[in-house]
Chains A and B, each alone.
Chain A
Amino acid sequence: MSIGEYPSTWLTEAGQAGRGGQAGHGQAGPGVAGAGPNGAGLSGGAPPGDLSGRLTALARVIQIGAARSGPEGFSRPLLTEAEQLVARAGERLRLSPSHTVAVLAGGTGSGKSSLFNQMAGADFSAVGVTRPHTKDPHACVWGMDGAGPLMEWLGIPHRNRYARSSALSEGEASLRGLVLVDLPDHDSVAAGAAVETNRLVGLADLMVWVLDPQKYADASVHRRYLTPLAGHSSVIAVVLNQSDLLTAEQAEDCVSDLARLLDTEGLHDARILVTSARSGAGLDELRKVLAETVTDRRAATDRIAADLDAMAERFVPYAGPARGTGLDTGFEDFAEVPPGSAVVLGESFSKAAGAAAVGQALQSARELRAVDYVGWPVSWLVDRSLGHDPVRKLRLGNLWEELRGISGGPAGAQQAEIDNALTAIGEQIGPTLPAPWSQTVRVAARSKRDEIPGALGAAIGDALPEENSVEPWWRLVAAWQGLLLGCVVAGLAWIGALLVIGVFHAVHHAAAIFSDAALLPWVGILIAAILALGWLTASGCMSMVSAAALRERSRVEAQMRSRMQDVAEQLVLMPVKQELSEYARFCSALQSARQ
């Protein structure tokens, strides 16, 4: 073996696919699928399709969550962590999938460096008695090709990189593709060491935790690392080093206690090895475990998959208790806008905009206008002459005109009532959703709050007739009333004539029709009849006008209501539905990420 010397057979560059492919193929054995002709060697352990699918799904989860983060929404730190995971996983999958990164992690004095040197077969990492000893990571590669970028990514200092060459004779061929990293301890007072360790533990494909009989139950390793890594058992191996200090019996006792501890922490399947870097016991097993992992080429994807599992699990509360469990709940059946919402909202909006009142005002305006035509002018004259018009009394000038002008226009809407309606709809849908969503749905319902009054005003304006038009038959009636009025005037004149001529004989030789006083009562009756006729016409026509105005009012009101419903649909329910479909997308993305 030689240090830092790359044998020519291993110097295949990533681009030189042919040889790398053969070599990779040879190593991976027949079981590895997907070893195609093109760069297959380097992608021998290519991620299964579903892993990248899951990562994409997680990215979508993050993207949806990021738009809704905050104290009441998605937790920022969680999103950041998930983003880091996606980025890290992407990097790792891109970088030399044919290599497996195994880290030796453990407390100070557990013998990581000794083990590392034993595995590497040379004293790469200095071993010492004073604590803490190793202060930055060391790495050894079996098979350099393509490992350079990986080393960069891992952040191993150049002086601490070593390569193991051929040494096939020593049975190390099976280790080809292994990157073994000796970490600084995580529990010493040396500042910074723990940060470096945390980073590399996060990047590793396989974690080998080196414990020793003195420290195997330390809180620093169990609480900080092993417990949070529950679910990662497939990519964790635990090594009880320094077994030379124990008798066989003691070692057994120790291992069973350690196994019990790991079990309570959820690491049921983690492999436990007993080694001694000093005596060399158990090293072959460790080498075998490493070799298996390297040959399988699954550690990288297993690690990512385990990380994904844990991460996706943490998003489950955001999908809601029932939906996150991954049971067969379909994603179509939940969180819909209740069917009658548009109608209910439309009602509330009608109220806010005063649709009924506008209709009423329209009817009044119609009737008022009609009075000008079909009304009986005599009644009006009587009113006026009797002094029932306060405006006149107060000499308010054009008030009357103003009052007449304001009837029946678009009236806008009450913001407060709109707000209350929006609150109500938000609270109708919200409670069925988990925390951030019930809030975002509410926000969505309110998102176009400011546009609603204008839209409602426009809806009313559209529904209202252009102008207070005059029906043709009103003019006919007006003419008729005019005629009747003329008749009254004529009748009055006749009476006058009769009085002057017939009673006081002021003029002689008048026609009998003007002079026959006996006609007086008849003419009087005639005038009374005409007056009655005018009044009857007026009230008859007014009731027709009223009936027509009422019909128009209900037509306009119905129109307004349907427009209000459109407004509700457009400005309230659409955003809500969009938000709900985002929620559905979130759930299905999470579902895919959890596969």
Chain B
Amino acid sequence: MTEGQGLAAASARATGADAAPAVDPVRPGPPPAAPPGSGPVAGPVIPGGGEAGRHRRVDARQLEAALLALRRRIVDVNLVYETEGAEATRAERRKLLSQIDDYLLPRIRQSEAPILVALVGSTGAGKSTLVNSIVGAQVSATGIRRPTTNSPVLACHPDEADWFAENVFLPTVPRVRQEGLARSGRDGLLVLAASEGMPKGVALLDTPDIDSVVSAHRDFAHQFLDASDLWLFMTTASRYADAAVWELLEYAKERGAALGIVLSRVPPSSGAELTTHFGAMLEANGLGENDRFVINETVIKDGRLPAEASAPVREWLQDTAVRADRRVAVLTQTMAGALDTFRSRVPALAAEVEAQLVIRSDLKAAVEGAYAAGLAEADEALADGSLLRGEILARWQDFAGTGELLRGLQAPRGRQGRQRKRGVPARARSLKSALRAGIESLILSVADRAAEESVRRWRNHPAGVALLDAFAAAEASQSWTGSQFAADAGLIFGTSAEAMPADVPDADGASAPGPLRQATLPLARSSADLQTHAVRAVSGWQDHVMRLVKAESVTKRSIARVMSFDDDSLATVLIVAMLGQRDVDGGAAEGTGTVPQLLLTSLFGAGPLREIGTQARADLHERMRRLFDEEMLRFVEVIDSPGELDDAAAVRLYQATYSLEMAR
């Protein structure tokens, strides 16, 4: 086997990996025998032996295509709603992407590139010192301040520097070439240090710490880890039990990466005890198989360890670079490890995508439920006689009790426009408009309550809270122009936004939420247009009832012969009868329900009357439903505001994962 036959090298060994078709798949070599111990503590265990032993053919082109397809699907994922885990899922998505972009694709395309070894670990463990010692030159700054390394340093042989200079490796990270001595670079820049001291075929990346106050370093370190072929983890005698250390080791284990572990700054006096304890801890955590090195606490000269302290690590690296079997094993293990994680991680992402759909329908269902309850409530109020109170009742009494009702029923026959008494139409009109106002108020109050209830339901949902906050922020930014109008329309009222920032202690932070909070309010109330629409709907309905009555009374000739009707008054009586229907049916008549019922039954007959009543009720229900649908639109707009969801995104992710598995 020649150098360069990695997992993917099999098919892409020709120069220009992209262009070369996959023609020559070979199977990774069998697990090589353990070479003579190059590490002082444990001989290198060949990781990934099991993977390598599997007989299968890997087509790099297919694999690349499958990865690209998966990548596209992951890019398409849009997590628009907040959930408890949404932030983590977004991070996971970014991470998947960066793993594909920074590691998998470059590694598949350029299988001959040097093995990239990431040196990670606790702050103060001496990572930079170790790099300098291995390279034999001051390539990375060392010091007493923590964290020392702010920008990662990549040390490699000058001949191989080109591999890392191009935009293939870690395309998202800007880099500079190091000239002269190590100096502190700017955060976020990758410093490329080419040095003759580095063995060929391997590059060493000195990363920022994982546990200092500068939390950006941790993310940075993780990005580099994900882009590396081999991890060299470094911790110290006083830190090896830190939680942060074991979090990272646990991650390495999950990730299945090839791993070497260095315990540094070991006091020579207690070296054996510490190594044993640490070894036992590693064993207990299932990491006992990895290569281990111990570096004693020594005097540092020129930012370098004594040669004998760093030699084992250097030899180990060189060995990995030179021996093809080791190289293949390392590459195979890390890549297979990364791809293995996709089996569970991508479906987990897909599950989150599905959860987003559920959230959307949950939010919609919350609003629909609130409005449906409101509609039912309105229907109930329209039937149980609760509207026959106050103004309407008094107007009815005035209208019916004075006999104007009876006179009103007698439409001027013959002489048009004749009025028997002044005030007849006035009372009928008053009753009619009282009825209209009463039903309007009912609609408004039910809509208000439904809106409030919708907002309340959303408040109990993390995604709902996020939507409301976003809505409030958008409203607040518009309120400069809109406030006057909104105030005129009676719109801007305070509501309780999210129980505000208990953790925003500063006065600046506290003053900001004021307008924000109040801006949510328009949503928690019925819309400003509802009043106008309700007026229109109710008077439209009254006209409709009148037409119903007219149609019915025309057919009922027998009555028409006896007396004539004012259709308008008759329709009004019918509405009153309708509102009090339940009273009559339930036998709990207070006298309000019976009179019109009696009158109407004798006019229309029980059957047709019931029919008219049913029709009128259905029509009103329909009109209210339309009003409420319009009200709900406001919520639907808010739900859709963060972006569209693709219903099939999850399925596509599953498919892409499956294709990837097939291509491996």
Contacts and interface: CB of A to CB of B under 8 A. Distances in A.
B392 A414 contact: yes
A20 B492 CA distance: 66
A214 B494 contact: no
B501 to A, nearest CB: 6
A338 interface: no
B499 A215 contact: no
Nearest to B504: A317
Nearest to A361: B398
B68 interface: no
A254 interface: yes
Nearest to B402: A364
A492 B215 CA distance: 116
Interface stretch (B18-26, B141-149, B220-228): B141-149
Interface stretch (A115-123, A186-194, A474-482): A186-194
Contacts of B449: 419
Interface string A294-315: 0000000000000000100111
A72 B445 contact: no
A575 interface: no
A72 B459 contact: yes
B274 interface: yes
Contacts of A220: 211, 242-244
A358 B397 CA distance: 8
Interface stretch (B176-184, B341-349, B509-517, B544-552): B509-517
Interface stretch (B104-112, B167-175, B383-391): B383-391
A404 B592 CA distance: 12
Given A257-B145, A394-B562, A402-B595, A189 B241 contact: yes
B394 A414 contact: no
Contacts of A518: none
A436 B490 CA distance: 21
B238 A357 contact: no
Nearest to A107: B242
A204 interface: no
A354 interface: yes
B438 interface: yes
A90 to B, nearest CB: 23
B238 to A, nearest CB: 3
B239 A109 contact: yes
B398 A399 contact: no
Given A190-B241, A399-B595, A416-B441, A438 B495 contact: yes
B145 A254 contact: yes
Interface stretch (B332-340, B365-373, B403-411, B623-631): B403-411
Interface stretch (A7-15, A126-134, A156-164, A165-173): A126-134
Interface in B603-650: 603
B401 interface: yes
Contacts of B360: none
Contact of A399 (B240, B507, B598): B598
A560 to B, nearest CB: 11
B146 A321 contact: no
B85 interface: no
Contacts of B496: 72-73, 435-436, 438-439
B442 interface: yes
Contacts of B145: 217, 253-254, 257
A316 interface: yes
B398 A217 contact: no
Given A189-B243, A219-B212, A358 B406 contact: no
A282 interface: no
A396 interface: yes
Contact of A75 (B243, B499, B521): B499
Interface string B177-201: 0000000000000000000000000
Contacts of B410: 388, 390
Contacts of B270: 129
B213 A416 contact: no
Given A72-B496, A402-B595, A420 B397 contact: no
Interface in A193-240: 212-220, 222-223
Contact of A354 (B123, B277, B394, B446): B394
A390 B123 contact: no
A423 interface: yes
A393 interface: yes
Contacts of B238: 108-110, 131, 212, 214-215
B146 A257 contact: yes
A539 to B, nearest CB: 13
A396 B403 CA distance: 14
Contacts of B124: 213-215
Given A187-B243, A253-B144, A403-B405, A130 B273 contact: yes
A336 interface: no
Interface residues of A, number: 103
B473 interface: no
Contact of B391 (A357, A389, A409): A357
B350 to A, nearest CB: 31
B497 interface: yes
B250 to A, nearest CB: 10
A132 B507 CA distance: 42
Interface stretch (A47-55, A283-291, A425-433): A425-433
B211 A218 contact: yes
Nearest to A414: B390
A254 B502 contact: no
B290 interface: no
Given A73-B499, A416-B444, A403 B147 contact: no
Contacts of B521: 427, 431
Given A407-B398, A416-B446, A431 B492 contact: yes
Nearest to A81: B502
B146 A324 contact: no
Contacts of B599: 394, 396, 399
Nearest to A422: B445
A253 B598 CA distance: 100
A187 B147 CA distance: 17
B499 A357 contact: no
Contacts of B218: 219
A367 B124 CA distance: 101
B243 A403 contact: no
Contacts of B495: 430, 438-439
A462 to B, nearest CB: 16
Contacts of A310: 505
A403 B595 CA distance: 7
B517 A435 contact: yes
Given A257-B146, A414-B390, A187 B494 contact: no
B316 interface: no
Given A109-B239, A129-B267, A217-B145, 17 more contacts: A71-B499, A129-B274, A214-B125, A254-B144, A357-B394, A357-B395, A390-B410, A403-B403, A406-B397, A406-B592, A406-B595, A411-B389, A415-B381, A423-B525, A427-B525, A430-B494, A430-B495
23 contacts: A131-B242, A132-B241, A215-B239, A217-B123, A218-B211, A220-B243, A318-B500, A321-B510, A324-B510, A352-B441, A354-B393, A358-B394, A361-B397, A364-B402, A403-B401, A403-B595, A411-B389, A416-B446, A427-B494, A431-B493, A435-B499, A436-B499, A439-B496
Interface of A: 70-75, 78, 107-110, 129-132, 187-190, 212-220, 222-223, 246, 250, 253-254, 257, 261, 310, 313-318, 320-322, 324-325, 351-354, 356-358, 360-361, 364-365, 367-368, 388-391, 393-394, 396, 399, 402-409, 411-417, 419-420, 423-424, 426-428, 430-436, 438-439, 453, 456-457
In the A-B complex, list the 10 residue pairs whose CB atoms are closest, starting with the nearest.
A109-B238, A354-B391, A431-B494, A357-B394, A427-B493, A407-B401, A131-B241, A412-B389, A439-B496, A217-B146
